[in-house]
Amino acid sequence: MKGDSHYDVIALLNNVIPPEKKNKRALSNLNKLIDHKNLVSYSGEVYQKADIEKLRKHFDRFIKWAELLLI
């Protein structure tokens, strides 16, 4: 699948994984990561340490979920 938007991967995952609460949370974390990526890429704003810590939290949660799927 090829798309113009990073958000397309969320739609793809929504189509292939069960609509369970843990999956919805994981996709929400991924969505927040993409939101922040877009903000940094297109706004030019400088990120503060607190912003990076929030991103790390979303990233860690998403990675834990993804690893559980792959094990």
* pLDDT value of residue 7: 94
* pLDDT value of residue 42: 80
Rg of the chain over CA atoms, in angstroms? 13
* pLDDT value of residue 24: 95
* pLDDT value of residue 39: 83
Q: How far apart are CA 15 and CA 68, in angstroms?
A: 18
Q: How far apart are CA 37 and CA 32, in angstroms?
A: 9
* pLDDT value of residue 3: 60
- Whole-prediction pTM: 0.80
Task: List, for the chain, all residue ranges whose pLDDT scores fall below the cut of 70.
Answer: 1-3
* Residue of 71, 4, 57, 67 whose CA lies nearest to 28: 57
Q: In the block, which residue shows the tokens 């090829």?
A: 2
Q: How far apart are CA 28 and CA 58, in angstroms?
A: 9
* pLDDT value of residue 28: 95
